[in-house]
Amino acid sequence: MLKRGIDVLGSVVGSVLLSPVLVAIAALIRLREGAPVFFRQERVGLDGRTFRILKFRTMRVSRPGAPEVTVAGDDRVTDIGRVLRRTKLDELPQLLNVVRGEMSLVGPRPEVAQYVADWPDDVRRVVLSVRPGITDPASLEHFDEEAVLATYDDPIEAYRTIVTPRKLEMYQRYVATQSLVGDLRIIIATVRRAFT
């Protein structure tokens, strides 16, 4: 309950303080790229329940069936989108997901159902026993994930067989050792990383 209260307070205060930035980004996307301003996608959350994650749109509107994994140099990413992705500012709308109770400020990143289906059952139970988060230790370690994936001949296979197992190890470790002090450290580290 304490973590949930901090999540709500933090996301509301963060939304208010960052409102000029949120409005500016939304306006820039609308003027430069047109509608929609936001990207919504089904993700798997607490106890396996699905929800629609919210991000600023960083890619051109693509056809259904486009690859779920994005790599550096992907021509679907807009000029504005490159900056937003590099700084992780595209994730800020997820503060609304936190207010709605679908996400936490810190927790394992939510994944799409097709990849969650590949997780071992015991791992899935652990990772989905907590609310997914906007950031976590794996997000910090894989901050430049798109650039790393671009070095592989098959980025999607590399994501499944190399990146995902490492992330799942870190997710399980987070669930086992999570604390409010630890969450605060992760938030501070994420902000520092985004602005450096």
- 115-150 burial, b at 16+ Cβ within 10 Å, e below that, comes to ebeebeeebbebbbebbbbbbbbbbeebbebbebbe
pTM over 0.75: yes
Which pLDDT does position 145 carry in this prediction?
Answer: 83
Which pLDDT does position 128 carry in this prediction?
Answer: 98
pLDDT greater than 70 at residue 174 = yes
Mean pLDDT of 16-24: 95
Domain boundaries, the chain: 2-195
What is the percent of the chain with per-residue pLDDT over 90, rounded to a whole number?
A: 71
Which pLDDT does position 179 carry in this prediction?
Answer: 95
